[in-house]
Amino acid sequence: MAAPRGLLALLLLGATAAAVAGTSPDIKAHVTDVSGKLILSCNMSAPFPAIMGHDWMHGDKILQTDTDSSAFTTYTIEGKREEHSGVYECVYKSSPVIKGQVNISVAPQVMAYKKSEHGNEGDTGVLTCKNPSFPPVNSWVWYKNGHEPIINGTGRYIIKTSGNKTELRILKLSIEEDTGDYHCNATNSQGFGGASVSLRVRSRLAALWPFLGIVAEVLVLVTIIFIYEKRRKPDEVLDDDDGGSAPLKSNATNHKDKNVRQRNAN
């Protein structure tokens, strides 16, 4: 008995789809270190559609483009692997577009936001580390002065972790207990790395010292001006008295001489 036409059409369509899926091109990606350079390569196996060029991309940025029709394409990066980790794509300009992925993976390259942090006694101290490299961090651990790991939620410690960033908060800072060096360690599939942050806790009065210094300078200046004015005024008063007596004496002498002349005339 012959199969219905509709069923036969579905069987043929399924066979065609299976053939296409079985012949989809495969892309082999590699990263090679050569004399301080990183060579990224993609090679697409046959059969594949017509290729009209390639793009190399890192995120949304196009790093290199060409119009070569080859199934093999490369991109060269100057520098160390640790400086250029991440996900790169080789894009084949075909119909449809075919993409391959090249990963440059390294152990965590941990960095502290600030190598030295300062906080006032009684305030909340915040220490932060980040990992800009690929792959992402699997776990973060904080230490103080190389001692036992700091457990989140114990004592005055709160740890907040979000992917490639970690933050240690210390509540009610104490000069005696919290001053010191803290270490943030990260682990991923390639290994581990860490960084250090130095924390210095200042007395609450430390913020007042600049203001008190200004007040002291103003008081000294006012005192100097007051003493100077007090010593200068008596001398000026004496000078004014001396200057006023001379004309009086001269007038009296002139008046006496005038009287004598008048008597002689008479």
Segment 149-203, tens digit of pLDDT: 999 999 899 999 988 999 999 999 999 999 999 999 999 999 999 999 999 999 8
- Residue 144 tokens read as 């103080």
Q: What is the mean pLDDT of residues 51-62?
A: 97
Peptide bond just before 47 cis, omega within 30 deg: yes
Q: CB-based burial of residue 57 (10 Å sphere; 0-12 exposed, 13-18 middle, 19+ buried)?
A: middle
Q: Which residues contact 146 (CB under 8 A, 6 or more apart)?
A: 183
Residue 130 has pLDDT above 90, yes or no: yes
Q: CB-based burial of residue 56 (10 Å sphere; 0-12 exposed, 13-18 middle, 19+ buried)?
A: buried
Q: What is the mean pLDDT of residues 28-39?
A: 93
Which 8-state DSSP code applies to residue 121? Answer: T
d(CA 198, CA 114) in angstroms, rounded, equals 9
Confidence tier at 254 by pLDDT (50, 70, 90): low
- Residue 157 tokens read as 């410690």
Q: What is the pLDDT of residue 16?
A: 29
Which 8-state DSSP code applies to residue 47? Answer: S
Answer with the residue of higher pLDDT: 208 or 128: 128
What's the Rg (C-alpha) of the chain? 44
Q: Which of 130, 127, 131 has the alpha carbon at shortest distance from 108?
A: 131
Answer with the residue of higher pLDDT: 214 or 100: 100
